[in-house]
Structure 1
Amino acid sequence: MHIAAAVASLLLAPAAAASYRNVAYFTEWAPEMFNYNVNALDGSRLTHINYAFALPEADGSLRFTNASAAFGSAVGDPTSLQGNFGQLIAFKRANRQTKVSLSIGGWGNGDAFPGIAASPSLRATFIANVLDVLVNLGLDGVDLDWEYPTGATDTANFTTLMRELKAALNQLSFRAELTFAAPGFDNDLGPHLATLCTIVDAINLMTYDFSGSWSRVSGYSANLYTDAKAPGDMKLSVDAAVQYYLQKGCPGTKLVMGLPLYGTSFENTPGLYQSFATPTVGDNGAAGSWRYKSLPLAGTTEQVDTTTMATYSYNPSTKMLITYDGPATIAAKMQYVQKYKLAGAMFWDASGDADAGSARSLVSAVVSNLGAGNMDSAQNTITYPTSIYSNVRNDGRPTLQLYTSRGLAISEWNGMLYANTPRHNLNERFEYDATTYLLKSLSGNACLDAYPDVSKAAGYALHTWSCDASNGNQKWKIDAQNHRLVHATHPNLCVDVDPNDASHGVQVWQCHALNNLNANQWIGLPTERVTIANKQRVLAGNADAGTVAFADSTNQHWIVDNVHQTVALSTTGLCLDAYQGWNGGAVHLYSCSQSNTNQKWTYDSATQQLRHVKFSGFCLDMGSASGTNPHLWSCHAANSPYIGLQQFTYASVDYPFMN
């Protein structure tokens, strides 16, 4: 049978109200293992992203294997969600039709599920924790990946858990979906599937891994149809799985066809349904597994079995067979989705795909075959008013952590302010309202207040007091460029931290002149995203070349770490690095290291110069008016005719009210 005939035999126009899903799992380990980050996801074509995984604990709590990858480091702004989830909330705002769910469980991570599902109290605890995570991380749903409920007791308890979880999700102020991952073969959930399909929004069928290193002989891993010639233990197929779920009472509109973005290899085999050797090579984290983007391997040709609609390649020299999905089989599978009015497609996992939008991309192929106008376009949620993270709340009142020039965090305790070693707790969190100019302590739920006190040398005392937008004592402006906290009502009054104060107290004092700034009044964020510009030309970086230059109208941003004194290109994490301490010394981008003194810089707001810490007396210099080749140069005096080549504005990107 020719491919065209196979596809034509399945042709059926989609229903007018088609709203197909295009789901991809994003794994927590993808950034580190494959250098695949959130910004690589195809937001123009994916309707759903499932973050894999949170792990269930026996007490009903949730755990992330790599919390640093998930949430980011505590160094920086701990009140703002960072890491993968911080990138995902920004991704959602840029791609309003893409919903993000949390997948809980995964292969080998389900030991706690039976106990949780069996206990009413543990179910309640688990559900409460799930809802808490969704609200705080700014998610649109949950995907349960219990592999697998077996036996009458577990399957009945699983159904109860799903029913109670869906009821709780329905009580949220935003729409939250519930899905679960299910095996691509007959399973013990059968008697409950009709009920489960009335509860959940969709079931993600794992219609892949039909063969692998565990198999008796080599075989296709994701074939659409069963091969009549296959041995009896190799009869699995996508069609067989879908028909099983349909026969058990699940409507097609609840079934999402799973597709692999990886290939499965069989070494030292004469071909299909033959013996093979234990796998020894692969590029997908395990021997015998290959990322789709690597296929077909050099020296092989991609082929399609038009009877089963399976893609494969075979190298007769090395005797390696690799089976996977390709553009032709995706086309046939999407015709099948249309024929049986299925809910769409799901990929494991996003990091394996070819470049977004390319002819080889399978994520793109799903959309081109189903039709862009037929994809689920329901919008995600982007505002979560009760989240503990300021960038997730998205209410215009950022939560800040304020540091001194000596790396101490300002904190509130019993109505007073102190500067101590950072603990990253609620006492160090302040909420700023740029409309009322109120700066509120979240621990005391009271606002910074500077009131007249003749007993104080500065004439004012500082404490926290009940917030009142009409109280002039509570008006503050945060100055990003000069890194000061300035009173907006009382003239020439700044927050000040005296290092000789044994009580570590924070006070107010007369503001020092900008040309004579004092370290006692340096108050800023631990890290901040900024633009560094000279008039209309903005400092930009080329990560591939490792170079920096000034350019017109660029939107490149820099992450300034005020604690470690580094300046990093926000899109890559590469740091501004000067390793030659002389006039004309090279300045380039280099892998960030807190111990690399070539990367230490400090911004002098009085002169607007970016000064090098290691090479004292040297500054970043544009080199020429065009700034195409910036370098290190002796810092010019204020009256020098060349000072303009070293003067840069420093503006906050995330908090414009500070500028």
Structure 2
Amino acid sequence: MLFLLMLALSFSIPSVCSNTYKVVCYHGNWAAYRSGDGKFSISNIDPYLCTHIVYAFVGLNSNFTINILDPWQGVDLAGFTNFNNLRTKNSKLKTLIAIGGWNEGSERYSAMVSSASNRKTFIQSAINFIQKYDFNGFDLDWEYPSQRGGGSADIANFVSLLREMRTEFNIYGYLLSAAVAAPASSVDTSYNVPALSTYLDFINVMTYDLHGPWDSVTGQNAPLYPASSDVTAFQKSLNVDACISGWIERGASPSKIVMGVATYGRSYTLQNSGNTNIGAPTTGGGAAGKYSGESGYLGYNEICEYVNAGWTVVWDDQQKVPYAYKGNQWIGYDNPKSIAIKVAYAKARGLGGVMVWSLETDDFNGKCGSVNPILNQIKTSFN
């Protein structure tokens, strides 16, 4: 009888663990420089809405050591310390430091991974940084191996880096993750997917920015499924479902995949304000928002204010996301309804959880209603 009880317990434990989803939330520290209600600091982070929080970003020096890009915030104002002290409120919370990002480019990272000695220098610098500031782990946001100035050898060399980091990180029990491209065309250019799945604790798939002002026609930032107007193989690849399926088909364990969701949208200026459909011709990005200040981009905290001020909202049932417009301005985005559908999708596919880019563009002041509606919807949907 005791044997049967132990056998039953041995089968029940994995099923319990498999239901422990990750909610990995990035914090873009530059939001501390925004004005008014757009200003977001570490004190605005609710440590109970995420399982992991990631401080973005540090960079890479020419000698392949960690470059603190904003020492005033990170060190002088004790940003790293305050970030990690959020664990005193929620002891289950894990903190990571992210290196890279779009602005860092690829060339220096390509050089770093190209030799064992360069990789060793980097890995030791990463460990020293984690230990000095007391993070739980490290997130690699190289955008992207073999692209943007990198070379074809990056694919194999990146695997070497991950393997060597895994060996060293295991000594200390540090977490190792990476933010990665989502569409199949980019994945095939940059990654050995089975190797990433082997060496990383989790893989943050950036399933957003699938359409934007660079397309010259309106499109959804992060459609879950394709539109009927998507007819070519490439067009059909630019949706969350196709991206996640592509990563799994290429050898990623679903439980290692953390699916990206966005607290922002991509905006456009319409060529003809009378044509507000998906695929409508545009003249460029939409007007910059009063908080984010970037053409072609609006945080959910900006979008919800526009919606409350009378923008027309349309639910795109094919792609399971909304869009909104007023005059010649158009925005494709996610709201709590679409986020709930995406979380249900992640659960149905057996994924490891969702990743949020990023904390500072949810409605963290609750100006449109409840505080942090996107993050709270994620938490509710996973419960």
- Structure 2 unaligned residues grouped into runs of 5+: 1-13
1:310 maps to which of 317, 321, 325: 321
Please identify, of 137-146 and 276-285, the stretch whose mean Cα deviation from structure 2 is larger.
276-285
- Hey, what's the Cα distance between the residues in 2 that align with 1:243 and 1:280? 31
Q: What SS is found at the alignment partner of 2:242?
A: helix
Deviation digits for residues 301-322 of structure 1 (CA, Å, limit 9, x no counterpart): 433212211121122xx12210
Structure 1 contact 231–273 (Cα < 8 Å) conserved? no
- Hey, what's the Cα distance between the residues in 2 that align with 1:66 and 1:22? 26
- Hey, what's the Cα distance between the residues in 1 that align with 2:192 and 2:93? 30
1:64 maps to which of 63, 68, 89: 68
Partner of residue 81, structure 2? 86
How many residues end up aligned between the 2 structures? 345
Structure 2 CA distance for partners of 1:275 and 1:29, relative to 1, 3 Å? same
Q: How does 1:503-522 map to 2 (within 5 A)?
A: none
Partner of residue 157, structure 2? 157
Q: CA deviation at 1:274?
A: 1.6
1:20 and 2:16 equivalent?
no
1:364 and 2:376 equivalent?
yes
Deviation digits for residues 626-654 of structure 1 (CA, Å, limit 9, x no counterpart): xxxxxxxxxxxxxxxxxxxxxxxxxxxxx
Partner of residue 110, structure 2? 114
Partner of residue 294, structure 2? 286
Deviation digits for residues 422-470 of structure 1 (CA, Å, limit 9, x no counterpart): xxxxxxxxxxxxxxxxxxxxxxxxxxxxxxxxxxxxxxxxxxxxxxxxx
Partner of residue 353, structure 2? 344
Question: In the alignment, residue 43 of structure 2 is paired with which amino acid?
Answer: N
Q: What SS is found at the alignment partner of 1:302?
A: strand
Q: CA deviation at 1:218?
A: 1.3
Q: What SS is found at the alignment partner of 2:319?
A: coil
Structure 2 contact 362–375 (Cα < 8 Å) conserved? yes
Structure 2 CA distance for partners of 1:359 and 1:139, relative to 1, 3 Å? closer
Partner of residue 479, structure 1? none
Q: What SS is found at the alignment partner of 2:282?
A: coil
Structure 1 contact 327–360 (Cα < 8 Å) conserved? no
Deviation digits for residues 273-297 of structure 1 (CA, Å, limit 9, x no counterpart): 0210122522223111111012241
Q: CA deviation at 1:95?
A: 1.7
Partner of residue 174, structure 2? 176
1:319 and 2:319 equivalent?
no
Q: CA deviation at 1:356?
A: 7.5
1:40 maps to which of 34, 41, 44: 44
Q: What SS is found at the alignment partner of 1:100?
A: strand
- Hey, what's the Cα distance between the residues in 2 that align with 1:230 and 1:20? 32
Which of the pair has more CA radius of gyration? 1
Partner of residue 244, structure 1? 246
Structure 1 contact 42–356 (Cα < 8 Å) conserved? no
Structure 2 length-normalised TM:
0.86
Question: In the alignment, residue 99 of structure 1 is paired with which amino acid?
Answer: K
Structure 2 CA distance for partners of 1:221 and 1:155, relative to 1, 3 Å? same
RMSD: 1.9
- Hey, what's the Cα distance between the residues in 1 that align with 2:194 and 2:86? 35
Q: CA deviation at 1:189?
A: 5.6
Partner of residue 102, structure 1? 97
1:258 maps to which of 257, 260, 263: 260
Q: CA deviation at 1:241?
A: 0.4
Question: In the alignment, residue 178 of structure 1 is paired with which amino acid?
Answer: L
Structure 1 contact 149–188 (Cα < 8 Å) conserved? no
Greater helix share, structure number = 2
Q: CA deviation at 1:15?
A: 5.4
- Hey, what's the Cα distance between the residues in 1 that align with 2:372 and 2:39? 20
- Hey, what's the Cα distance between the residues in 2 that align with 1:163 and 1:91? 30
Deviation digits for residues 385-408 of structure 1 (CA, Å, limit 9, x no counterpart): xxxxxxxxxxxxxxxxxxxxxxxx
- Structure 1 unaligned residues grouped into runs of 5+: 1-13, 73-81, 372-659
1:126 and 2:122 equivalent?
yes
Q: Which has the higher contact order (CA 8 A, sep 6+)?
A: 2
Structure 1 contact 149–155 (Cα < 8 Å) conserved? yes
Question: In the alignment, residue 182 of structure 1 is paired with which amino acid?
Answer: V
Please identify, of 25-34 and 333-342, the stretch whose mean Cα deviation from structure 2 is larger.
25-34
Structure 2 contact 268–286 (Cα < 8 Å) conserved? no
Q: What SS is found at the alignment partner of 2:125?
A: helix
Structure 2 contact 316–322 (Cα < 8 Å) conserved? yes
- Hey, what's the Cα distance between the residues in 2 that align with 1:29 and 1:83? 15
Deviation digits for residues 562-601 of structure 1 (CA, Å, limit 9, x no counterpart): xxxxxxxxxxxxxxxxxxxxxxxxxxxxxxxxxxxxxxxx
Structure 2 CA distance for partners of 1:15 and 1:303, relative to 1, 3 Å? farther
Structure 2 contact 223–239 (Cα < 8 Å) conserved? yes
Structure 1 contact 179–203 (Cα < 8 Å) conserved? yes
- Hey, what's the Cα distance between the residues in 1 that align with 2:282 and 2:15? 44
Structure 1 length-normalised TM:
0.51
- Hey, what's the Cα distance between the residues in 1 that align with 2:283 and 2:134? 46
Question: In the alignment, residue 299 of structure 1 is paired with which amino acid?
Answer: G
Structure 1 contact 356–364 (Cα < 8 Å) conserved? no
Partner of residue 413, structure 1? none
- Hey, what's the Cα distance between the residues in 2 that align with 1:26 and 1:146? 17
1:53 and 2:64 equivalent?
no
Structure 2 CA distance for partners of 1:158 and 1:242, relative to 1, 3 Å? same
2:363 maps to which of 330, 344, 354: 354
Please identify, of 300-309 and 163-172, the stretch whose mean Cα deviation from structure 2 is larger.
300-309
Partner of residue 476, structure 1? none
Partner of residue 9, structure 2? none
Q: What SS is found at the alignment partner of 1:299?
A: coil
Partner of residue 228, structure 2? 228
Q: CA deviation at 1:32?
A: 1.5
- Hey, what's the Cα distance between the residues in 2 that align with 1:65 and 1:136? 16
Q: CA deviation at 1:28?
A: 2.1
Q: CA deviation at 1:191?
A: 6.4
Structure 1 contact 22–363 (Cα < 8 Å) conserved? no
Q: CA deviation at 1:91?
A: 1.4
Structure 2 contact 140–179 (Cα < 8 Å) conserved? yes
Structure 2 contact 286–330 (Cα < 8 Å) conserved? no
- Hey, what's the Cα distance between the residues in 2 that align with 1:118 and 1:204? 24
Q: How does 1:207-606 map to 2 (within 5 A)?
A: 207-230=207-230, 232=232, 234-235=235-236, 236-269=238-271, 270-271=275-276, 272-279=278-285, 281-283=287-289, 284-296=292-304, 297=306, 298-315=309-326, 318-355=327-364, 358=370, 361-371=373-383
Greater strand share, structure number = 1
